[in-house]
Chains A and B, each alone.
Chain A
Amino acid sequence: SAVISQKPSRDICQRGTSLTIQCQVDSQVTMMFWYRQQPGQSLTLIATANQGSEATYESGFVIDKFPISRPNLTFSTLTVSNMSPEDSSIYLCSVEGRGRYEQYFGPGTRLTVT
């Protein structure tokens, strides 16, 4: 299985600021995914990031708010822009597993916006 790390593991940020979350994988992967898990809610897919192309965003998520970079096959970043308390959540990075529909998840970044 892939080993995925995320930085930072947690952060407390002020309203109106932005935070960039990094996701590093120990092997080359084509597809990387970013999820949000709000308190008491399920994991919600924000976007799919393929190397060399623009990220594909799910309904309700836009590039201006959640810009994503995917510069190579082992790394991606998600930025949460102009944060509000509603953005307080755990943000998870995941990658495709051995099977097409299997995914491996990172440890998550716990974000609190005050």
Chain B
Amino acid sequence: AQSVSQHNHHVILSEAASLELGCNYSYGGTVNLFWYVQYPGQHLQLLLKYFSGDPLVKGIKGFEAEFIKSKFSFNLRKPSVQWSDTAEYFCAVNAPGRDDKIIFGKGTRLHILP
């Protein structure tokens, strides 16, 4: 069965620090990969996605993620975080060759200190 692991449950950074949130998945076939974000009091929303092509994916608000197939990883990065990036971040995977389900990780709660 597919699974998604997010290694950091709670991350605290100061503004302007660089961010990298880890995500690993377990599935050997073709995958679609996602990062979702939930800002305080708001809906869960899509931050970026990878389906195919360039493994370095750019998303909204300066975020990017790199798909490394050999490592089964899809880490989220941002070179310089802002206080407004405080949110919970969820990595998710879908295996289109199997079904339409999206499997989510447990989430990483990011807190940016002003």
Contacts and interface: CB of A to CB of B under 8 A. Distances in A.
Contacts of B55: none
Nearest to A97: B46
Contacts of A92: 44
Given A101-B100, A101-B102, A103-B102, A42 B46 contact: no
Nearest to A1: B45
Contacts, number: 49
Interface residues of B, number: 22
Contact of B4 (A42, A102, A107): A42
Interface stretch (B13-21, B74-82, B103-111): B103-111
B62 interface: no
Interface of A: 4, 31, 40-45, 48, 58, 92, 94, 97, 99-108
17 contacts: A4-B43, A31-B100, A40-B106, A42-B4, A42-B104, A42-B105, A58-B101, A92-B44, A100-B100, A101-B32, A101-B34, A101-B49, A101-B51, A101-B102, A102-B49, A103-B102, A104-B43
Interface of B: 4, 32, 34, 36, 42-46, 49, 51, 90, 94, 96, 100-107
